[in-house]
Structure formats: structure tokens, C-alpha cells
Structure 1
């Protein structure tokens, strides 16, 4: 963890030198975790290290090796039962002897894997490895709550909004758990997009309508002011919490953008313009969030939002170059949104290779080139 932190902060002026690079190469090339799985036990520290390395490699050395590493970690998690901790700890002595504090850490690691599985496969258009319908591991909860109050991801995604009253009753874990809910929503939108890309006609309209209803219900059920792009100063929201909340809103806007893309592809010619407009609306909403971003917090959040930024940039560029003629005011607004999103992507690119490669697709803002 110290080596990775030093390597990342070097971009802000530190110089780790060749020894730091050699240390990272050694960590990433080690098969220690896989070798230790010859047995049936795995230490918390070993698994935490595996997840950190998978996260780091995916964003800093993107490619099929990093994607495969995430897949291996996910399968390891299934092997030792992280997807069903709160079931097997009642049945198996090895798990029942683990302290409540460590169980909480294991839960947190599972939900980190859930997030990695989401965006690594969504970015590549591959199926998720984790099955949302059969997870028996609670969301994290504070010490003031008991296991009897644990929150499980519902097998039916329609029930996600029903989790919010229980989640909001625990302010200590509120941001992390709403993050899980918005990730789950984005996963459902990704499934619909994959169905569309595979030209799977049967059931796609019903699934699309289901995800749209889910998005609508979740937006309405969120706490007041949650979707506000600005910091909720009257609630004494800290800048760190503001940016953590913004990430969850990015998820919802990305889910809306994905379902809008699918909807546009399913429409007949006479309905196409209204659907194309919905894509523009979703991109504008994403740009509004980017407009409130402080680059000082790029290291405090999951850089996977760069995929959302990149997707919005693509479709804003398409809107600018095609479709109905744009009046000067709308063209100016789109140009501004492109500039803001491009700058945000560049900020992440000063830290993460993945973001830097995405930025290379837009070497300069189209409006400035």
C-alpha cells in the first residue's frame, strides 16, 4: 500500500526512482496469492493486498492482464465464500471464529470486488462474473448496528430503492452503501446495453422499461439534495463527502445515458429525434457534475468515473457534428460541456494511465483543435 501511495503521489512532485518501480513490478508479477490458495484459508491482509493490486493495475497498466487479474481475484472471493459471509459464518467454524471487526473488513473487501467486477466488465462489454441475485453478504454497517439489522442486496433489482431507509439510518456508512446501490443500478443498465449490442431482441424492451423504472424510483427515494451537483453547505457537507456523493450521482447519470443509448437504438425513425435528445440531456447532466469537480480530490475517489466522462464526451461530440441543426446557444453550451469534461479527464490523466489513454482519444478539445 505504501509503495502504491508513493508512486501515485510522485505525480504531484515526489520522485520514487527505479527502486520504487522495481518494487511495484515485483508486487504485480508475484503469484503469491494464487500459490497460497492451494490451501483453503486466506488471510485478510493477503486478500486486501490482492484487491489493491488489481485496482492499481487496472487503472495504471490497463489491458487484458489487468482484466484477468480482477477475474482471478473475483473467483478467489467466491472460493472462500466472500459472496455469502453472513450465511457461512453461521455454519463453518473457521468463519464463526472470525471477530466481528474482521468480518466487517471482509464485507468491505467483497463490495470493493463488486465494484471492480462492474466497471472492468462494463468497459470491455463482457458479462459480469458476480451474480447479483445470490449475494448473501451484508453491506457494511457501523458498530451501533447489529447483524440482525444487516442490509442485503435484493435478488430483484426493483427493490434497490427499498434499501434506502435502512441505509440512511446509519450515517457512518451512508456514502459507501449508497455507492453500492448506484453501482448495482449501473450494472442493470449495462446488462441492457449488452443485450442491445448482441442484438438480443427478445425481452429487451421489457428489461429496458424495468431499469428505467428502477432509476426513476431510486432518484425519488434518495435523501433530499442528494442529486444536487453543488456542495450542500446548509447540511455542513464536507468537500470530501461532497465528492464521494458526486461519484454516486455520476453512476446514476451513466446508467441513464446507457439506457438512453439503448432506447435510441430501439426506436423507429419517427421517434428517433426525441430519443437522441435524451442522450444529449444525460450528457449535459454529466457535464454539470464535472463542472463542480475539484481536481484536488482525484486521488480520493474511484477513477472509474473516467469511463463515464469519456462516454459523455463521445456523444457530445456526435451531437455537435450530427443530428438536427443546432442554434448558436445550444452549440455554445455543448462546446462548454466538452471543454469541462475534457479538462476533468485530463486531471485524472495526470495520475492514472487509464485516464491518460482515454484523454489521448481527445488530444485537444474538438472545439479548440
Structure 2
């Protein structure tokens, strides 16, 4: 028999599946020239072989159609960290055959797993040469073909709920990555002199000798008693201390993590936890997902791409309510279990699941260590030009802050601060075409995160020097706030918005046009300052509307005029003489200024859009005040705001609210008008929602009048959905991502309405609502291709829809509506959720009669 130290299984460039022997100092990698054998038997007998080239490395098991056996609690140090008594016998379970993972395999990561604390477990894995049954420990080692390493991927939450679902938590497809090589027992023995090590981003998180409670021989003997274990079975022997669940703070895997597992003589199995693209077929080096699944991929010769984005402000994608009491997550209050440190930098408290896309197709770059950083200054010149071009194509139309000719002039003169360039590239790097990704970023999969981190650090260093604030500082702060909020809209992002607002106020950007403020600016420069100011104001407005939080800007102090130039002209360096028109800050009477603003509008609807945002801002402020203190004055203001919409419709031209594109309407003008219509509809929805008043008997009760208003205004949610009949697919890549919050709000409102008022006898209404929900769902999905904030909201809607069969008690509407008004809650560890416990409490007992499983499940949620 020919001896081998280690072997690999692989597919060859020339075709077919093969085995090959490697010395321990050879690296298993694609492109390696080897002698390929059809089987291990052929290799060991020095039989027929072919000279072949390794193409894809596979899991090193001779049989792939059998389950993987897993053993738990087999390290004393792991039992100690979990505060679990040493077991008398080894706990065990199975991973299904489909859990086996090869390299370069696209893995669909189901939502119920990726939002349930995905965790790593580095484990020594035994592969059997022969079938075994009732084998004594003294003979068990002779049945071993070899050793490899693996990662027992686990959706940790399921282990702690529902009775302890170990098989379910660990049995998802591709949850058992193994390899890349199998080491012969003659050159490797799992004794106390060897160690197993796991690193995350270069940091050692597991490092332990093989301190087995049940040594391998005893383990195999126990497992085989009365049970036939087939030849080729892989047996994972347990993990040592240091898994993410028991880190302090808890540390689930996140996008961009590099996980390395090492059994020293076996080499490395790297786990590259990467963001994967949504949509079309995978291409070499990239991986795709469908709209229902979150992907996970095994990537490069020794690499495994772990779980695509879940948000790690607490531990997972936001799904089921501010207090996380939902069935698909932890059916207990996980906030206290999974609270993370809200550090600004360095601490992995957040992930980005936004896939990068070109206009043509989705993109996912391979991932390398997050410790290796590059900056705008180190990029090749053509790469910089590409990112600048993409910025002006995709970001400038949403937040116009630059005159392109002047920017390019300053860029060529090296006058653009690197912090600003990095902030710009953090926004535009998502849009790099597939063909340019490797050329521009090499193996970086989330370059936007890299750029944002550097921009934040550079900006922070500048502020520490207490240098006078300049416009570049404000632009940088604004872009960083947008980046953070559209990736993970938690507390950190909300504070970034506040920082941008404070910088703009400190520089008096809000008072450019007040008497006596000459600022020494040319008219063209002053117009640029106005554009930047309104970008900041819009950011403060829309984000605090979605968060239902007080605004950082007092509109009564604004002394900066509206812009007098179209976004297109401004971008091209053309500015017009300012009309010095101020925004009407009285939202309830804003309709009076509509005709004047329209006559003075530069021509693309930019100022009318700001008027709609102002109305939305006023509506949100009124509702916030009513919640805190329902005074007669605020109730009167609410009535005036409701009347404003009718006045607004009469003040605007008859064609304005017809979402169809007019023959003379340009691409961005039409897109801008549709966004404005959506803002109007959202404001109308909010002002008619039942008010939950703090500290009164009506706090949890809906009045007949407010119920009637809300029922009537729900048609505006349908109208909002109808806008997307005329929304062109190209708009998603250049539209304000906050529109995804409006979509989410309308979708939730329609769902609640359907759960509360639509009965089987009114099929027309039900069909109409279902059609609107379909339009909103597909629209949010399209936004999610570009913006992580939309993905967060989309995931929460999927879970919310699971409960749409429940008939929601009318008495619960106020509480549920109060939640959906807050699309993003910066005070929550899981922003963008609906607490389904309120829905569960509406389920009548007779609904659960005869179904004890549903009864227990629902009771668990409520508790």
C-alpha cells in the first residue's frame, strides 16, 4: 500500500473528480499540478492516475451522501465557560448530508439562521475508513481514515429556545465545512501535545489543547454501540472554549470576518465571512442569492465565506420587535443576553449586508483580512476616476453637494482632503461594475466599510486639532452619516447624523442669506453652500421622521434660501442668481407657498420636494407632541395638517399627482417628482394614524374618530404603492434610500388594515390590498439590492407577514401602529422591527384549540 501523509479531493481543470496525495509542506490550492486518482483505493494501491490540475477543492470525505455526526461538550474548558456539568456520556446529533460544504460553493443562508446568532466552532474531525458497529475503544482507532478540521456552524439562538433545537440549529444546508486536506493517523494524533486554534480577523478566539472529556477512541466506541456507522462518515469531535456566544461582549460572525481554524499539522482552513450579492447567477469569485435566502460561500483554496449580513448592534438582522420577542428569533428577551458595546471604531458592533452592484448585475468581491486597509490616496489613478464617476452618477442626484468642474480642478491640484475622498468612495464603491472589482479592490469584499472607517478616523483627527470648520468637513460628516445610516441604522448612525447637523450649525451654514452675513463667498460658492445645507436639513428631517425622534434643527432659525439652480446645472458647474426664497416653516400653511415656489423652482422640482419633506417633518413633530402631551393646541394643529393635503392638491397643478412620466419630463425630474409624491402620501398616512397618548387612559385604546380617519387614509398607502406602476427600474440605483422606509411604513399599514378590517366577504378590497402589497414588496426588494437599510426592513416584513393570518383586535391597533410609525429605532438593539407579541395577544383561544404546538409557541412569545 502506498503511504500518504495527507490527501485532497478535488475537481480537475481537465474534468472529473480526483484524489491526490500531498506532503504536509505542500499547500492545497487551485492550479496545483498533481497525480489524480479516481479513488483513495486507487491512490493507495498506486493504481491508474492522470496528471491533472486542481480546479476546486472539495470536502475530503470518500462518501458524500451520509450525515455528519456531531459531538457536543467534549472539552472541559467549554463546559466550564458554559457553566454546564461534565456529561456522563457524549451528547451527539446529526448534520444532514446536505450540510457538507465544499470549497467555492455558493451557500444560501436561510433567514431564520442568519438572524439567530451565527456562531463558529472550530473542531477536529475524524473520517472513517471502514464501517463500524459495537467496536471497543481499544480497536476504534484502526477504523480512522484520517483527520481534518471543520467548523460546526450554528444558529445559536435555537439551542437556547424551543427545548434546545441542536439539530435544527446546526443542520442547515452547507453548515458543515470540512477540509481542505485529510491527514493520515500516522502523522497526526489528537493528544494533549497538540492544539486547535481559531482566529477571527487575526485575533485568537479559541486556543486549546485537545483537552477531550471523551478521547477519540472512547468517542468512536460509544457512538458505534448498537449502531452501524458507515465508512466515510465524518465525525466532528466538539469545540473548545471561546465560541462567539461566550465572548464578552458576545461576538457572532459578521460580514467581512476572517475565521481561521488550525490543527497545526493540517494547515489552515480560513473562513471568510462575506457579503454576497442578490439576484443573478454566480460568476467566478462571486456568489449569488435569491430573494428569499441569505448566502454564504466557500471561497478560495483554503477559504470559507461565512454568513452574509446580519446586523450586529445586538446580534442579528432586525426582525421581530423592539424587545425581540419573536418566534423566528429568540422567543425570549435577547436584548439582555446579547447587548453589544456601542464603540465607535474597532469593536465589531455592526455588519453591512448591502451588496455592491453594477447597473448590469450584482457584485460580491472575495474577502480578505479587515486589518489590511487601503485608502483613496493609495488607489491607482484610473480607480479613483472610476469611483468619482460613480459618485456623480449615483450619489450626487440624491444629495447634490458638488460642482463637478470645480471638484475635478481641486482634485487634480490635490486640494480635496483624503477624509472627504474616502467618504465619497465609501458611498460609490458599491456601484463598481463587476468587471472592475478585482482590478480596483483586489480581494476586498466590503471596500465601502474600509473607506468609511478611514474617513471617520481622519475626520476625527482633524476635529481633535480644533481647526476651523470648512465646507469639506461638513460634506464628509454628511456622507459618513448617510453611509452609516443606510448600512446599519442604529444608535451609532443616528449620532453621526447629529454630528453632521452640529457641524453645519456651528459654521452657520443655516444662515447663509441673513442680513449681515457676507461670508466672503461668490454667488456660485454661496449656491453650493445652500445645496450642502439642504442636504443636511433633509438628512436631519427624513431620518428623525423614520426614527420618531426630535429634530436637530430648529426651522425657525433657518436663514438660508432655497436653491435657484437645477441639480443637473449645479453638478455641471452652472449656477443662477439666487431668488432668496426661504422655505415656509409653517407646515400647516405650507400650501400657501406652493404656487410661488413652483414659479420660482429651478425646473427639476427640487424645492417642491423640500416642501414635501417639510410637511412630513411637521406631521411627525405634531404626532410626537401629541404622544407626549395631547393639548388642544396640538389637536388643532393636527386637524390643520390634515386639511393641508387637500389644499396642497388644489395648489399644485392637476397633473402633479399623476405618477405617469410626462413627455417633456427628464429622467431625474420624474424620479424626483415620484419621490415627492411618496413623501406626500407618507405624511398623509402618518397624520391620520391613531395617536397613542402617553400617560392617559387612551394610551392603549383607539377612538372611533381616529379609527375612521385611519381607515379612510389607508387609501394613501395604496396610492403610494401605485406610484411604483410608473417607477422605472433604473430609479432604484439613484433614488433616496429613505424611500424604502416609506415603502415599509405603507406595507405595514396595509397589512394591519387587512388583519383588522378586511373580511372574506369583501374580496375586491382584499385583492386591491394584496396587489398593493405585492408592488411594495418587489419595490423594497429592488432597493435592497443597493441599500442595506432596505434589506433590514425587507427581512422584518417577511416575518411580520408570517402573522398576517391573525385577526388583529381593534384595541391593539394603536400600539401596533405606534411601532410601524418608527421604521428605524436608534434606541433599539434591533431597529426596523415589529413586536409580534402584540399580535399574538390578539389571537383568540379558540383559534389555538386543538393545536397545542401553536398554543405553546404563542405563549412562549408572550412570556
Instruction: Give me the TM-score of the superposition, normalised by structure 2.
Output: 0.39
Partner of 2:671: 243
Q: 1:294 aligns with which of 710, 724, 728?
A: 728
Query: Is 2:548 the partner of 1:121?
Result: no
Match in the other structure for 2:755 = 321
CA contact (8 A) 1:342 1:365 kept: no
Which residue of structure 1 lines up, in the alignment, with residue 553 of structure 2?
A: 130
Q: Secondary structure at the match of 1:30?
A: helix
- Greater relative CO (CA pairs within 8 A, separation 6+): 1
- What is the deviation of 1:272? 5.3
Match of 1:351 in 2: 786
The residue aligned with 2:233 is: none
Which has a greater percent of helix? 1
| 8 A contact 1:208–1:263 mirrored in 2 | no
The gaps in structure 2 that reach 5 residues or longer are: 1-386, 389-424, 566-573, 806-863
- Of residues 604, 607, 620, the one that matches 1:177 is 607
CA distance in 1 between counterparts of 2:461 and 2:594 reads 36
1:209 to 623, 639, 647: 639
Do the aligned partners of 2:714 and 2:750 also contact (CA within 8 Å) in 1? yes
1:83 aligns with 2:510: yes
Please say if 1:228 is aligned against 2:651. Answer: no
Q: Which has the larger radius of gyration?
A: 2
Distance 1:34 1:124, change over 3 A: farther
Is 1:339 matched up with 2:761? no
1:242 is displaced (CA, Å) by 1.2
Displacement after TM superposition at 1:269 (Å): 4.6
Query: Deviations for 1:260-281, whole angstroms, at most 9, x for unmatched residues?
Result: 1047998975445532322321
- Structure 1: runs of 5 or more not aligned: none
Question: How many angstroms apart in 2 are the aligned matches of 1:154 and 1:242?
Answer: 24
Range 151-160 or range 125-134, more displaced: 151-160
In 1, Cα distance between equivalents of 2:749 and 2:550:
24
2:685 corresponds, among 257, 260, 279, to 257
Contact 1:62 1:353 in 2 (8 A): no
Q: How many angstroms does 1:177 deviate by?
A: 0.6
Cα gap change, 1:72 to 1:270, in 2 (>3 Å):
closer
Mapping 1:12-161, distance limit 5 Å: 15=437, 16=441, 17-18=443-444, 20=447, 21-32=449-460, 35=463, 38-42=466-470, 44-87=471-514, 90-91=516-517, 95=519, 97-142=520-565, 146-147=577-578, 149-161=579-591
Contact kept? 1:85, 1:107, Cα under 8 Å: yes
CA RMSD of aligned residues (A): 2.8
Contact 1:231 1:242 in 2 (8 A): yes
Name the structure 1 match of 2:430.
Answer: 8
**TM-score (ref. length: structure 1):** 0.88
Structure 2 CA distance for partners of 1:348 and 1:228, relative to 1, 3 Å: same
> Structure 2 CA distance, aligned partners of 1:13 and 1:285?
40
Distance across 2 between alignment mates of 1:106 and 1:82 = 7
* Runs of at least 4 residues off by over 6 Å: 263-268
- Give per-residue Cα distances to partners, 1:175-207, cap 9 Å, x unaligned: 111111110000011012212333534423201
CA distance in 2, matches of 1:344, 1:365: 17
Shift of 1:158: 4.2
Relative to structure 1, the CA distance from residue 161 to residue 37 in structure 2 (aligned partners, 3 Å threshold; closer, same or farther) is farther
Matched residue count: 361
